Amino acid sequence: MVAYLSVPCCSTCIYKVCILEDDFVKYVVCSKCNEPYTLSEAEECRTCTFIKYPNHAQRKLCGEKLLKEVVLQDGSKRHYPIKLYCYRSVMKTLQNLLDRPGFKQRCEDWRQRTSIPGTLRDIYDGRVWKSFMTHAGRPFLEMPKRYALQLNVDWFQPYKHSPYSSRGIYLSLMNLPRSERLKKENVITAGVIPGPDEHSLSINTYLRPLVDELNDLWKNGFKYKARDDDKTEEYYVALICCSCDVPATRKIGGFLGHTAKAGCSKRTTKNHEHRSIAEEIRQQDNMTAKQKLESKHGVRYTELLRLPYFNAISSFVVDPMHNLFQGTAKYMFKTIWKDKLTGQDLQEIQDMVDNVTVPASFGRILSSFTSEQWKNWTLHFSPIALKGHLPKKDFDCWLLFVEACRLLCVSSITIQDLRKGHEKIVEFCRTFESIYGSAMVTPNMHLHIHLVDCI
């Protein structure tokens, strides 16, 4: 395992180096139920001892093998973990970051920014950040050396030409300026979840070490003497929000999809109600009762609820790149207009785009776009390229979506434009339903109406 750190090569220069040092904590993970064990625990028990419903009359051990026997060249036998989960301490990564010249000061620069009444320019202008200035009567972000984190979980394929997928657990330090907080050297990689497949319902067992550490960083903090400090300082940390695509949000947030009987949690459930329901579900002693309650309320238990300050309703953000561009823009082009745009139409549209000078990374509209390419297509090219190729009612409906995206997808937005963007996206959804029918409306389109609240 490789840890990426940044260290100074002189007083004015920082260069990134790769430290070939394995300081990840390794857990042996059951390949059946994903229950984690330390290496010594796995050596001792050899098979998984987890009992899913310990209070059930017919409770039984999982019993899955944790280790595999390997015969070495010399004929000796060794046991190796079948599946490993690697976790790196958030505190340890923060200490590495704090050793960088000027890093601590950049984490405090947000306090000097000038806010513009009626304008939202960064997370610091939003409700969630302001709610953590003091929390439950305790000063938090009001004080220096108090850090707020955002969680992201996403799958990636580590090997080319292979279906094997792993998942990374990442944290971003929101105290940093927006231009810096998502740079690779500033992102905290807390865990690497093993594949080969995605986990269907939750990743609670993989979140457990992170939640344990976050609870300690919230309650007790940590003391550290950074490289440029004269004395040891005390730091505290909180997880204030999560931003993932929809499948990952459901897995880490404990939400069912729109097939659940319950309505949308953001509109119908308060945080304390959500916590109470999730705890009731956790205590069920059999799968039937558990699934019945989950379906009724649209809720699953998540380890994040062990964070006493965490709001499971307001802390999850609808990501506009997935929601608008990889979601609806792609859906319109690939599905809704599939029979409306002929091969000739597509070729003429491609020819028009090709005749415009664009970066080579823009890609072809008939190929697989990235989120950024779908954004460029939607905002800049589609109003011109689609005109005359779509029926008027379809084109006018699409323009409502484009106008909403242009209003909402900006780095700074006024409350007035935010309301206009919300009105446009709602009008688009209603127009879409009237043209194509309710059966074609996607759950992703429902999430459009939450964008304004997330912003």
User: Tens place of pLDDT for every residue, the chain, 455 residues?
Assistant: 344 333 334 433 333 333 445 688 999 999 899 899 999 999 999 999 998 888 887 788 899 999 998 988 888 888 899 999 999 999 999 999 999 999 999 999 999 999 999 999 999 999 999 999 999 888 999 999 999 999 999 877 777 767 777 788 999 999 999 999 999 999 999 999 887 776 667 889 999 999 999 999 999 999 999 988 889 999 999 999 999 888 888 889 888 876 555 566 665 568 888 899 999 999 998 889 998 998 888 889 999 999 999 998 889 998 888 899 999 999 998 899 988 888 888 888 877 777 766 555 555 555 567 888 889 889 988 998 899 899 999 999 999 999 999 999 999 999 999 999 999 999 999 999 999 999 999 999 999 999 999 99
Which positions ≥6 away from 154 have C-beta within 8 Å? 167, 168, 170, 244, 245, 248
Of 350, 346, 352, 348, whose CA–CA distance to 363 is shortest?
Answer: 350
In this structure, is the dihedral angle defined by the CA atoms of residues 433, 324, 130 and 266, taken in order, positive or negative? positive
Cα(286)–Cα(51) distance, rounded to whole angstroms?
11
Tokens of 159: 């090997």
Q: Is 93 helix (H, G, I), strand (E, B) or coil?
A: helix
Q: Exposed, middle or buried, 255 (CB in 10 Å: 0-12/13-18/19+)?
A: buried
Cα(426)–Cα(267) distance, rounded to whole angstroms?
16
Beta-carbon count within 10 A of 334 CB: 10
In this structure, is the dihedral angle defined by the CA atoms of residues 11, 14, 20 and 22, taken in order, positive or negative? positive
How many angstroms separate the first and last alpha carbons of the chain?
Answer: 37
Tokens of 242: 């999560």
pTM given for the model: 0.86
The secondary structure of 34-47 as a DSSP string is --EE-HHHHHHH-B
One-letter amino acid identity for 293?
A: L
Across the strands, what pairs with 14? 8
Task: From residue 410, give the alpha-carbon distance in Å to each of 114, 150, 172, 418.
Answer: 19, 20, 20, 10
Of 330, 341, 339, 333, whose CA–CA distance to 389 is shortest?
Answer: 341
